[in-house]
Amino acid sequence: MNGIAIPPNQPLQVGKALRSLLGVLRDASDTDSVFKVVEALDGGTSRNNIERMLKTDLGRRIASGDSSLIEHLSDEIYLRGLPAGSFGAHYFSFLKGKALDVDGVLASERARRPSQHGVLYPEAMRLQDHFSLTHDLWHILLRYEPEPAGEICMLIVTDKMLKSRGLRLISYMAALKIQFVAPKSNIFGIISEARRLASRMIWLPSVDLVPLLEKPIDYVREELLIGRPEKYLNLKSETRSRILASFSE
């Protein structure tokens, strides 16, 4: 497409997906298992998303190497200097207690991919990097915290955007676990809300977030048609703690 080589579709590997799913259900922070589930159930999903991105101006610019998102997210001086209340300032606050290591995040993601892909499909891999980099930025825009219930909602929204069987499987199986350990959590109402809100948003992968980093976060949410997840935000702190403990045992 557009002269850009894209990795071939991978066959579905249901057995591998189910084995890896057990790791996710034991530990919600097991990103390796998440990646394995998504990869095993990809079946052409990644290719479809890359092709869709290449139909957008941002996608073509990223593929050609003309994107500054990595540089902006790696620049602590730039982030510190952003206006209070801006999207970028919220991102910098979100990172407190974490290392500002965008290169490390990308290196970890790239290590999970077949080693030859970086050589054979460089443009497609830049788009995959973009999908990885925007995860924390979406957390901030969507108001979902990096804890199990919030991550499940993130998976729901990401599935709505990228049509991932793996993310869908993980989110609903993890929700079943939450329903068991915290039956009053209304987890299925929360994820139903997440899916409904996602259906109203602009297709987030195609949005150039760099010029929005300096804008007030409420303005950015309004521009991208991102609603407020009331049911998720009303989840009681003690319930969140119970859910978190169940994924850390």
By the 8 A CB rule, do 140 and 91 touch? yes
* In the chain, alpha helices (H): 14-26, 31-40, 45-53, 57-63, 69-74, 76-80, 87-94, 102-111, 117-120, 122-142, 148-162, 165-181, 187-200, 217-223, 230-233, 237-246
Q: Which residues contact 124 (CB under 8 A, 6 or more apart)?
A: 4, 5, 6, 7, 50, 63, 117
Cα 55 to Cα 59: distance, rounded to the nearest angstrom: 7
pLDDT digits (tens, 9 = 90+) for 78-116: 999 999 999 999 999 988 756 556 666 666 766 666 655
Going by the DSSP 8-state scheme, the letter that residue 194 receives in this structure is: H
By the 8 A CB rule, do 200 and 227 touch? yes
pTM of the entire structure? Answer: 0.87
pLDDT digits (tens, 9 = 90+) for 27-60: 777 778 888 888 888 888 888 998 999 999 999 9
Cα 178 to Cα 181: distance, rounded to the nearest angstrom: 5
Which residue numbers in the chain have pLDDT < 50? none
Res 2: pLDDT: 60
Cα 116 to Cα 110: distance, rounded to the nearest angstrom: 11
Which neighbouring-strand residues pair with 86? 216
Res 125: pLDDT: 84
Q: End-to-end alpha-carbon separation of the chain, Å?
A: 46
Res 230: pLDDT: 97
Res 206: pLDDT: 93
Res 114: pLDDT: 62
